[in-house]
Amino acid sequence: MATLLPMNYSNGSAPLTPSKHLSLRFSVHLSSKKTRRWLDADAVKLPRYHSLQLQPLSKSKTGPISATMATGSGKEVLPPVLTSNSEPPPVFDGTTRLYISYTCPYAQRVWITRNCKGLQDKIKLVPIDLQDRPAWYKEKVYPPNKVPSLEHNNEVKGESLDLIKYIDSHFDGPSLFPDDPAKKEFAEDLFSYTGSFSKANNSTFKGEADEAGAAFDYIETALSKFDDGPFFLGQFSLVDIAYAPFIERFQPALLEFKKYDITAGRPKLAAWIEEMNKIEAYNQTRREPKQHVETYKKRFAAHL
């Protein structure tokens, strides 16, 4: 017997009224198979349901994604990391593959985007051990020998900021980029600042210059520009995805090694971190703070 399960309704608006006709997405649990499936139904007339709350069906390139991002409900079983001893996948067989490292912040950007778009079944993760890279990755997949890279339509593309935009525009799922011209322009400014942001924090860890404070002041100011939500562009977008992996790492490392709390005196940043941590599509990619601390301890051992 199929049981109708309500979607997570989190956008703050009132529940749907029984008389409305619209496209809906239902999560149906088939108890006999212990699985979930999506059913799309157009022009469904809602019966009386009292407290049942249903979420309008998101379609490609329409409407902002919900802040709670329940996309890909359930914890994804991650594939094992491939090393120099691992056999290559059947490259260019029509499968879309995202080559990543579980520890790389650049790869994490694209991984988050994949999850937010609900593409876990359409884009296969292929994790690479960056300390023991398979020779076939450079020879057969991506000559620059870096992650992330995306194998799609018999081509392999790289560069994380390019890839998050590519996935958002070329695959189905909720849009992760605004239509508003002012927000688009500001988004490009923030994309351009990502390199300077990382460099400033890394310089602080190296003891070359204490630039982390100024970098996070820039972030606090950026988060204050739009007042229609807690994210960089008000609503959640690719910009948040671009910064999240790095702030996830810098926050515990700066606190551990520099005794510097990035949220002190920065309420917008504190609220942003709190909201980001509610996003399931992001949480599925996160690592424990102590793991980041250990990574930075090894990376900057000569300076800490």
The residue with tokens 């460099």 is: 199
Q: Is 196 annotated as ligand-binding?
A: no
Q: Taking a C-beta distance cutoff of 8 angstroms, is the pair 38, 25 a contact?
A: yes
Q: Is 101 annotated as ligand-binding?
A: no
Q: Is 116 annotated as ligand-binding?
A: no
Q: Is 249 annotated as ligand-binding?
A: no
Beta bridge partners, 119, equal none
Annotated binding site for glutathione: 104, 133, 147, 160
Binding residues: 104, 133, 147, 160
